Amino acid sequence: MGERAKALLVDDRRDNLLALEAILQGLPVTPVAVESGEAALKQLLTDDFAVILLDAHMPNMDGFETASHIKRRERTRHVPILFLTAADRDAQLALRGYAVGAVDYLTKPFDPWVLRAKVSIFVELWTKNQQLKAQTEAYREREAQWQRLTGTIDEAARVLRAGGDKAAAEALDLLEKARWGD
């Protein structure tokens, strides 16, 4: 369970990516910066992310189209997207962002502490989800062990019911194997 949460930062301007990396500094998250929607989609093929910070206005594939692709993929549809855009108060753009699956839409200039708080929440949720997955896997493994042990005990009981000294020795052998996990 030592995997660290990652945040995908998507902006066509390198200075904006550097600013976002600086804002996230000190949080328990590894920022992964890319400069296009296409690069973001490629990155999402190989890595899992706690949150995506996505510029709405980019050349070629804009943030809305990128988000639409992200939300169509089974593997990535659950990843929260925070849209970041230049000071454009057009409510229709915000609605468009929410319509393609964004959880929030922040206009620049935004308060870096607000962004840090939002990212922190998604990182915490991702971490708790990873812990839950690990606990579920451990539970499944224990359940499988229990089923194997129960099966062995049932087999030993069947052998004992069949009777005889040889049966008792065989049953004891089965129980010893079950005890040691063989």
Which domains does the chain carry? 6-131 (3.40.50.2300), 135-180 (no CATH)
Where would I find the H helices in the chain?
A: 14-24, 37-46, 63-72, 91-99, 112-162, 165-180
pLDDT of 90 reads 63
In the prediction, which pLDDT does 175 show?
Answer: 76
Burial status of residue 19 (CB atoms within 10 A of its CB: 0-12, 13-18, 19 or more): middle
Crossing angle between the packed helical segments 63-72 and 37-46, to the nearest 10 degrees:
20
pLDDT of the residue at 91? 63
Query: Which pLDDT does position 42 carry in this prediction?
Result: 96
For residue 178, what pLDDT is reported? 73
* Percent of the chain's residues with pLDDT above 90: 55
What is the pLDDT, as a whole number, of residue 180? 66
Please tell me the distance from the alpha carbon of residue 131 to that of residue 78, in angstroms, as a whole number: 17
Contact between 60 and 39 (Cβ < 8 Å)? no
Q: How many Å from the N-terminal Cα to the C-terminal Cα in the chain?
A: 27
Angstrom distance (rounded) from CA 60 to CA 116: 29
pLDDT tens across 112-121, in order?
999 999 999 9
Rg (C-alpha) for the chain, rounded Å, is: 26
Which residue type does 43 have? Q
Inter-residue contact 58 to 12 (CB < 8 Å): yes
| Parts of the chain with a pLDDT under 50 | 1
Contact 45, 8 (CB under 8 A): no
As a whole number of angstroms, the distance between CA 26 and CA 56 comes to 26
Q: What is the pLDDT of residue 145?
A: 87
Backbone angles phi, psi at 7, to 5 degrees: -115, 125
Give the model's pLDDT for residue 87: 61
Residue 74, classed as helix, strand or coil, is coil
The mean pLDDT of the chain is 87
pTM of the model: 0.76
